[in-house]
Amino acid sequence: GNSVTQMEGPVTLSEEAFLTINCTYTATGYPSLFWYVQYPGEGLQLLLKATKADDKGSNKGFEATYRKETTSFHLEKGSVQVSDSAVYFCALPNTGNQFYFGTGTSLTVIP
């Protein structure tokens, strides 16, 4: 089945630093790809998605490009803020509408 491999954390950055969280996928065909974010004490919420190869998803200053050549969907942000501290999950659909979630990458941004 489909799966993702996600960069392990935790990641600690200073405010305004550049963020990259790596995600590579294994999939049949070209499924949509997703990044979810989980803030402390909350459930997951969709951060961004890309529905086909070469698409770029973006939201709240975060971006990720669906690259079929490298089977990657890395999450980036040019200047992180303290409020970006959260756990980030890469995900893709598996059979039916089941999702396969990565193990999550914890990000802490310090002032």
What is d(CA 81, CA 13) in angstroms, rounded to the nearest whole number? 9
* Site membership for another protein, residue 51 (CB under 8 A): yes
x/- binding map, residues 10-39, to another protein, per CB under 8 A? ---------------------xx-x-----
Which residue's CB is nearer to another protein, number 17 or number 93?
93
Selection from 50, 54, 58 nearest residue 34 by Cα = 50
Give yes or no for residue 40 binding another protein (CB under 8 A).
Answer: no
Query: Any contact of residue 43 with another protein (CB under 8 A)?
Result: yes
Q: Are the C-beta atoms of 32 and 46 separated by less than 8 Å?
A: no
> CB-wise, 28 or 111, nearer to another protein?
28
